[in-house]
Amino acid sequence: MKNPFKFLYTLLVGFFLLSACSEDDSFPQVASLKVVHAGVNVPTLHVLYTQFSEDFTFANNPVLSFAGNERYPVNADRENPIAFVNSTDTTSTVLSTNVNLPSGNISTLFLTGRDSNLSGLLLEDELLRHRDSTAGFRFINLAPDSQSLTFEADQGIGPVSLGFEEATAFQEVGATAANASYNFEIKNGAGDVLTTYATTAPVFKNTTLVIIGLVDDGSGGNSLQVIRVDSF
């Protein structure tokens, strides 16, 4: 018969080793941050959201252009400094900010404004849980020269009127496995149609429709448009 005391000793050693690993080797907690570039006349940007590593080079760092969006993992439950650096002049930081998100959080940081007046609008993505044949739309107005703009679609969505930097929550809309189609009109306060946008509603998913650009762009090439930002 094996020595019962030796067996007990081995069991206790294993228990304490397991306890030590669970305390010292815990997994880092993270949150999800999507960044949307809606800054009019703001250059393409490097998004620096971690400390520089020894082998960091701007040439190998992805950039974020106007109307583009990217998702970044950030450390949860702590201040995360984020710098937005001009991609053609990497000595120029056009905006610095901090985000502190709880573990498992999903948020979107919208870069908004124009020229040198760039700012960040942070929204938590309170995503809908969908039934079969439904999806979610959220609307936000980031046209810096607008007063109030209205979303309205041909399938009974809206009218939803939003001032600059105003947003709705996600709202449930009909969708099918083949993706229901929606045709939006964006109108000013007088009811004039400024632009249109057609999109599908991906079943079970949540999508943000963002108005960007200028109502009166002159010859600057920043015409009003709608971009689609897909969430989870």
How do residues 179-206 score in pLDDT, each as one tens digit? 789 999 999 999 999 999 999 998 899 9
At residue 9, the 3 state secondary structure works out as helix
Measured CA to CA in angstroms, residue 27 lies from 4, 75, 108, 201 at distances of 36, 11, 24, 36
Helices (H), the chain: 4-24
**Confidence category of residue 176, pLDDT binned at 50, 70, 90:** confident
The residues facing 85 across adjacent strands are 46, 93
- Write out pLDDT tens, residues 200-227: 998 899 999 999 999 987 766 689 999 9
For the chain, residues classed under CATH 2.60.40 are 28-125, 126-232
**How buried is residue 161: exposed, middle or buried, by Cβ count under 10 Å (0-12/13-18/19+)?**
middle
CB 170 within 8 A of CB 138: yes
- Residue 34, both tokens: 């999507």
Instruction: Report the CATH fold assignment for 126-232.
Output: Immunoglobulin-like (2.60.40)
Of 107-111, 131-135, 175-179, 216-220, give the lowest mean pLDDT range: 216-220
The pLDDT of residue 8: 43
What residues contact residue 102 under an 8 Å CB cut-off, 6+ apart?
31, 76, 77
CB 133 within 8 A of CB 175: yes
**Confidence category of residue 232, pLDDT binned at 50, 70, 90:** confident
CB 124 within 8 A of CB 106: yes
According to DSSP, the β-strands at 93-99 and 106-114 are: unpaired
**Which of 56, 21, 217, 228 has the alpha carbon at shortest distance from 138?**
228
The residue to which tokens 């106007």 are assigned: 66
Top-ranked range on mean pLDDT: pick from 29-38, 154-163, 213-222: 29-38
What residues contact residue 11 under an 8 Å CB cut-off, 6+ apart?
none
The residues facing 204 across adjacent strands are none
Q: Is the pLDDT of residue 19 over 60?
A: no
- Write out pLDDT tens, residues 36-73: 999 999 999 999 986 566 677 888 888 999 999 999 99
The residues facing 117 across adjacent strands are 114
Top-level CATH class of 28-125?
mainly beta
Length of the chain: 232
